Chain A
Amino acid sequence: MKCTVCRGPAVIDLRRHNSNFCAEHMVRFCRDQVAKAIDDHEMIAPGEKVLVAVSGGKDSLALWDILVALGYEVEGMTIGLGIGEYSAHSTAVSVAFAEARGWPLHQVDLRGEYGYDVPTAAQVTRRVPCSACGLSKRHLFDKVALDGGFDVVATGHNLDDEAAVLLGNTLHWQTEYLGRQLPVLPATDGFPRKVKPLVRLGERETAAYCVLRGIDYVVEECPMAEGNRHLRYKEALNAIEAASPGTKHDFYFGFLARAADRFRPEAEEAKTALVACEGCGAPTPTSPCAFCRLVERAAGHEPVPVELVRKPRGRRGGRKGGPKAAPKPAGTTAPATAAEARP
């Protein structure tokens, strides 16, 4: 297999682009795709100060690395979510990444600074964990961006994420959400601009970028995300993509080009007048804001272990189905079978 650009040995094939790349040209491809997304959607202007939301996963670390390579002024921010060892490891990986490069990283710890963690918030409020997590992240990234004078918050949502969310919003005809599912959300009263510069890259591409750049990232999945609806939508799209490469790209970018505007009125209608939260001052439809209400309910509660709120483990992508089998230790009989590769 040869690199489509230089004809040297390829290290990866990208079927949806009908291309193969060597290490050098794969890195260049990823950076070019991000530059094109930023340019096409006017995400970041020259000289603007960018805050990257960092989880320690492949997408956020690749994004930070690419934005710096493209010449942007970038700082990172990570949140200690308190999801057991997973969060501790994620924070450690994010800190190590930043320190090795001498790049500034803002850190906020939910338990240390606000007196709660995601498992406890999920249990106390009866929200699904991803909802409590997302609410906390959005509030704190906005706050740090505004307090720190950042022009824009960049998140690591990739093409697979956006296509999966689009599928979910379409299946349930969430027209308000469809009207807001854009790669750029402009700054509004009290909220910074939000951008998604990875929308032209799939998650296999961001993972490959990290490996080729020697970026150590958290491979393990969040224990609270296992079996969630977002993963099921990704599995469905991956099955279609396998038979018809390029479908995810067409689905998402076709939506942006031909359908997103049709749902804009619903999104505008859903907007309500905002007031300043009596607790934190953030703009909110009703005071106190959802974050302050979350803190009020969760902060006084005894910490809830991850195991009490995590979902049962479900089947995930990458496999074609079949019964579960116990893992087999190395050094036993060969050949390996598909059943042995399943968790």
Chain B
Amino acid sequence: MKVVLRNPRRELDVEGPMTVAKLLGQLEIHRDAVLVIRGDTLVAADAVLEDSDTVEIRPVISGGAG
């Protein structure tokens, strides 16, 4: 599958199928720090991502204090 990372934007190829939780674990990304988006909607931690999928792992932490 194609995995799109942000800040800075870049792409990885990862062999599927695997769950969202396993993908985040493999990349050592904490699930509470990101959203995983397939198409135009969110996918939950137990969702299975297929080899043909494109998913975005979007960080949610922002730095401004206001």
Q: Chain A residues in contact with chain B, CB under 8 A?
A: 1, 9-13, 15, 20, 23, 55, 57-59, 130, 133-134, 137, 155, 157, 160-161, 164-165, 203-204, 207-208, 211-212, 214, 219-222, 225-226, 228, 230-231, 234-235, 238, 241-242, 316-320, 322, 327-338, 340-341, 343
Contact of B60 with A230 in the complex, beta carbons under 8 Å: no
Query: Are A231 and B27 also in contact (CB < 8 A) when A1-B44, A211-B41, A334-B13 are?
Result: no
Contact of A320 with B28 in the complex, beta carbons under 8 Å: yes
Partner of A330, one of B2, B8, B28, B60: B2
Min CB gap B51→A, angstroms:
10
Query: Are A242 and B10 also in contact (CB < 8 A) when A337-B27, A338-B26 are?
Result: no
Contact of A221 with B44 in the complex, beta carbons under 8 Å: no
Query: Are A1 and B46 also in contact (CB < 8 A) when A327-B8, A331-B13 are?
Result: yes
Closest A residue by C-beta to B25: A338
Query: Are A161 and B12 also in contact (CB < 8 A) when A20-B44, A241-B32 are?
Result: no
State in angstroms the CA–CA spacing of A336 and B65 once bound together: 34
Residue in A157, A165, A328, A340 with the greatest tally of chain B CB atoms within 10 Å: A340
Closest A residue by C-beta to B10: A327
The contact size tier of chain B is 35 or more
Residue in A214, A219, A332 with the greatest tally of chain B CB atoms within 10 Å: A219
Write the B1-28 contact mask toward A (1 if CB under 8 angstroms, else 0).
Answer: 0110111101111110000000000111
Of residues 22 through 39 on chain B, the ones whose CB sits less than 8 Å from some CB of chain A are 26-30, 32-35, 37
Query: Are A318 and B65 also in contact (CB < 8 A) when A211-B37, A335-B15 are?
Result: no
Partner of A11, one of B14, B29, B43, B59: B43
Min CB gap B25→A, angstroms:
9
Q: Chain B residues in contact with chain A, CB under 8 A?
A: 2-3, 5-8, 10-15, 26-30, 32-35, 37, 40-47, 57-66
Contact of A336 with B26 in the complex, beta carbons under 8 Å: yes
Query: Are A208 and B42 also in contact (CB < 8 A) when A238-B33, A241-B32, A343-B8 are?
Result: yes
Given contacts A318-B59, A336-B14, 14 further A-B contacts (CB under 8 A): A10-B44, A11-B42, A20-B44, A133-B64, A134-B66, A157-B66, A207-B60, A211-B37, A219-B58, A220-B7, A221-B63, A316-B7, A318-B29, A343-B8
Partner of B28, one of A23, A157, A338: A338
Contact of B63 with A226 in the complex, beta carbons under 8 Å: yes
State in angstroms the CA–CA spacing of A298 and B43 once bound together: 47
Q: Which residues of B contact A203 (CB under 8 A)?
A: 60-62
Contact of B13 with A330 in the complex, beta carbons under 8 Å: yes
State in angstroms the CA–CA spacing of A208 and B32 once bound together: 11
Q: Which residues of B contact A338 (CB under 8 A)?
A: 26-29
State in angstroms the CA–CA spacing of A20 and B61 once bound together: 21
Closest A residue by C-beta to B59: A318
Q: Which residues of B contact A230 (CB under 8 A)?
A: 63-65
Q: Which residues of A contact B40 (CB under 8 A)?
A: 211, 214
Q: Which residues of B contact A57 (CB under 8 A)?
A: 62, 64
Query: Are A330 and B61 also in contact (CB < 8 A) when A1-B44, A11-B41, A341-B29 are?
Result: no
Query: Are A134 and B5 also in contact (CB < 8 A) when A329-B11, A336-B26 are?
Result: no
Min CB gap A90→B, angstroms:
11
State in angstroms the CA–CA spacing of A316 and B26 once bound together: 18
Contact of A134 with B6 in the complex, beta carbons under 8 Å: no
Contact of B66 with A11 in the complex, beta carbons under 8 Å: no
Contact of A336 with B62 in the complex, beta carbons under 8 Å: no
